[in-house]
């Protein structure tokens, strides 16, 4: 019996593999590095759907050569690795996995804020290097969080989850969002005493800043030289969103020249490349894009991706469509046709 063909980039939990296997033949490629475009093209040449991750670039060229491809289930909330307008133009559904990773990502942002301000990694290195001689009143001092102001850039689900945590740590919240003012702003005021400001005011008035917006044409390079120049000299910048939201070179120069206090970074502009200069700085904490790296969270992300594929080929609208305009009668008929031919 011929089945749908699905490419899974990365691993898939056995229970989810069995669920998907009911309708599909799965090819797994558990790669550790970004695959060359030519290899993705050849892997997708005969596939109806793919489960991809931020590591996998699904370009227009890849879509052009993947004539059967109907669904890209991106196992992440961010989808900047997929060229959405081209997918839409070709009638390919793109789905993502929002909601299930809010707490995990907000936790990591808070961990980075604490690790950077309280110098956790530096202190750990200090002990391992045998430098500790005993309690000292001025050893490894950092700023208090309680009573200070945190600026949150982007107040979607993850931004709000972070705000909740920030409030518990006694931080005052100012934030910026990109949508027009609406009832969400009153809710944020009611729930967290959070005050909406513009980006300039946020940069000028925050003791710490955490980035929680998606990467898109509006937010690429959002935090550039001008914004960094406005920050307080002690300001600590946290990024668990996407590296390219910050002008990385400008950030490096501000950190090297001690124009801002420090940074906690989970994401980088050209992963896995991390600017050399950052490796030498004690006031920077670096982690390898692990915002959602919790067992239950990663399972739920994978489950959401699998469910998107199952729904799409069963004629049901997937829960998290990035390009809902593709979900029209024509696509539904085509997907049903693909599935019935694959029986
Ligand atoms: C996302 O979901 O976009 C994260 O960056 C990876 O989990």
Q: Please indicate whether residue 54, judged by its CB atom, sits closer than 6 Å to ligand 1.
A: yes
**Residue 269 and residue 127 share a domain:** yes
**Residue 252 and residue 142 share a domain:** yes
Residues 71-101 have pLDDT tens digits of 999 999 999 999 999 999 999 999 999 999 9
Looking at residue 20, which CATH number applies to its domain? 3.40.50.720
Each residue's pLDDT expressed in tens, for the chain with a length of 343 residues:
468 999 999 999 999 999 999 999 999 999 999 999 999 999 999 999 999 999 999 999 999 999 999 999 999 999 999 999 999 999 999 999 999 999 999 999 999 999 999 999 999 999 999 999 999 999 999 999 999 999 999 999 999 999 999 999 999 999 999 999 999 999 999 999 999 999 999 999 999 999 999 999 999 999 999 999 999 999 999 999 999 999 999 999 999 999 999 999 999 999 999 999 999 999 999 999 999 999 999 999 999 999 999 999 999 999 999 999 999 887 887 887 787 787 6
Query: In the chain, how many domains are there?
Result: 2
CA distance 327 to 155: 27
**Residue 200 and residue 63 share a domain:** no
CA distance 198 to 176: 6
Helix (H, G, I), strand (E, B) or coil at 29: strand
Looking at 270, 286, 302, which one is the last position of a domain?
Answer: 286
What value does the mean pLDDT of the chain take?
A: 97
**Residue 212 and residue 93 share a domain:** no
Calculate how far, in angstroms, residue 340's C-alpha sits from the geometric centre of ligand 1.
33
Number of Cβ within a 10 Å radius of residue 303: 18
Cα–Cα distances in Å, from 336 out to 32, 273, 303, 312, 327? 34, 42, 22, 9, 12
**Residue 281 and residue 167 share a domain:** yes
Residue from 25, 37, 53, 271 carrying the catalytic annotation: 271
**Residue 121 and residue 249 share a domain:** yes
This prediction has a pTM of 0.96
Residue 35, domain extent: 4-98+294-342
**Residue 107 and residue 88 share a domain:** no
**Residue 315 and residue 228 share a domain:** no
> Is-catalytic flag, 320?
no
Q: Please indicate whether residue 51, judged by its CB atom, sits closer than 6 Å to ligand 1.
A: no
**Residue 311 and residue 192 share a domain:** no
Cα–Cα distances in Å, from 330 out to 91, 225, 341? 9, 47, 16
**Residue 325 and residue 233 share a domain:** no
């Amino acid at each position: 019996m011929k089945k749908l063909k699905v490419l899974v980039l990365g691993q898939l939990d056995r229970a989810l593999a069995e669920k998907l296997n009911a309708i599909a033949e799965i090819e797994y490629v558990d790669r550790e590095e970004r695959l060359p475009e030519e290899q993705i093209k050849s892997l997708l040449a005969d596939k109806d759907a793919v489960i991809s991750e931020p590591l996998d670039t699904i370009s227009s060229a890849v879509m052009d050569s993947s004539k059967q491809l109907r669904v890209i289930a991106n196992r992440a909330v961010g989808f900047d690795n997929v060229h959405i307008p081209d997918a839409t133009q070709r009638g390919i559904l793109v789905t993502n996995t929002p909601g299930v990773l809010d707490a995990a990502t907000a936790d990591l942002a808070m961990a980075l804020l604490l690790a950077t301000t309280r110098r956790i990694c530096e202190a750990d290195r200090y002990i391992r290097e045998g430098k500790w001689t005993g309690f000292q009143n001025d050893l490894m001092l950092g700023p208090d969080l309680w009573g200070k102001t945190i600026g949150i850039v982007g107040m979607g689900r993850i931004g709000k989850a972070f705000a909740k945590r920030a409030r518990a740590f006694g931080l005052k919240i100012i934030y910026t969002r990109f949508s027009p003012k609406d009832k969400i702003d009153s809710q944020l005021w009611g729930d967290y005493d959070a005050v909406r400001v513009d980006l300039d005011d946020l940069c000028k008035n925050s003791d710490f800043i955490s980035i929680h917006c998606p990467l898109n044409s509006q937010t690429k390079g959002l935090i550039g030289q001008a914004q960094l120049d406005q920050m307080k000299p002690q300001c600590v910048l946290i990024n668990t969103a996407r590296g390219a939201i910050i002008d990385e070179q400008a950030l490096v120069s501000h950190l090297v020249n001690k124009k801002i206090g420090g940074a906690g970074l989970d994401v980088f502009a050209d992963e896995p490349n991390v600017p050399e200069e950052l490796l030498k700085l004690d006031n920077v904490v670096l982690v390898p894009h692990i915002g959602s790296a919790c067992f239950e969270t990663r399972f739920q992300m994978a489950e959401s991706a699998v469910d998107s594929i199952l729904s799409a080929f069963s004629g049901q609208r997937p829960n998290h469509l990035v390009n809902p305009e593709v979900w029209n009668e024509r696509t539904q008929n085509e997907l049903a046709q693909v599935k019935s031919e694959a029986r």
